[in-house]
Amino acid sequence: MKLLSIQPPAHLKNVINEFWSATIPSTVSGVDEYKILADGAPGIIFQHHNGNSNLFRGQDTALPISFIYGQKNGAPCTNYIHGASFIFGVNFQPAAVKKLFLINTSELTNTLVELRNFFSVHFTEKLLDASSIQQLVELFSQEISQKLLNSKNQNSIEESVNLIRNSAFKINSALLAQQSLLSRRQFQRKFKEYVGICPETYSRIVKFQNSIHLIKTGQFNKLNDIAYRIGYADHSHFGREFKLFSSLTPKEFLALQHSENDTGTIHGNELSLLRIMKNWR
């Protein structure tokens, strides 16, 4: 799988982290397995081959051609891609779904909903008629720009998300609540409503994603270095958390990186694309 990252227009950067696309060639087996990891953000997937869904949850359950997915807060799930396919994605900012679609984001956690429930009736048909990646970017940008006009700001939650992303190992939800001028219980409830998961779980996912980034980019001498650099209590805690979110130990994940780059070539902001992992047997 080869991934291409595309930056959104400047006026959408507060709700969209990036657009991305993947072109998947047909393989000898005809079916490829991909683990979907928690990455701390919801998003949109548009995928097809000749107008039909080519993405399956399980061997026989086809996913919609276009859908919004919520946060993942635990172990990865496995998707199956049958033959050659094209996938286009919108990687939202963590609090964007509530802002754009005015729903409780936790309702989407660990699940997905067809795009037609949130966008105009014929939007998927327009996507299927698009002749280039740039056209897809323009279609999504236009639709999301319109929704942004009716959105409601929640600066305190967005600020808390940024604080956690920039210093996940120092998370203190009581302090974040205080800065948001809310009680701790009110803050926890509002954070989950906007982000889909509680601040503590979001912090754990940020740490997990940072550890993947460090492993992929070789920024360590020993795996133990990563544990202490990111703020895990010890190497055992790091190993348990990593296995929870990836189903692999850090050592097993590192071995995969040495055998083959499991996400192919990535251009742009590679950290935000650490969601899809080839399932090697």
Domain coordinates of the chain in residue numbers? 2-149, 155-259
Amino acid letter at 114?
Answer: E
Predicted TM-score of the model (pTM): 0.90
185 CB-near residues (< 8 Å, 6+ apart): none
Query: Which CATH number describes the domain made up of 2-149?
Result: 2.60.120
pLDDT in tens, 249-263: 999 988 887 665 544
Nearest residue to 167 via CA among 156, 155, 159: 159
Say yes or no to pLDDT of 58 above 80.
no
Superfamily classification of domain 155-259: Homeodomain-like (1.10.10.60)
CA distance 160 to 198: 12
Q: What percent of the chain has pLDDT over 70?
A: 91
2-149 and 155-259: same fold?
Answer: no
pLDDT in tens, 196-242: 999 999 999 999 999 998 998 888 888 888 988 888 888 999 999 99
pLDDT in tens, 81-126: 988 889 999 999 999 999 999 999 999 999 999 999 999 889 999 9
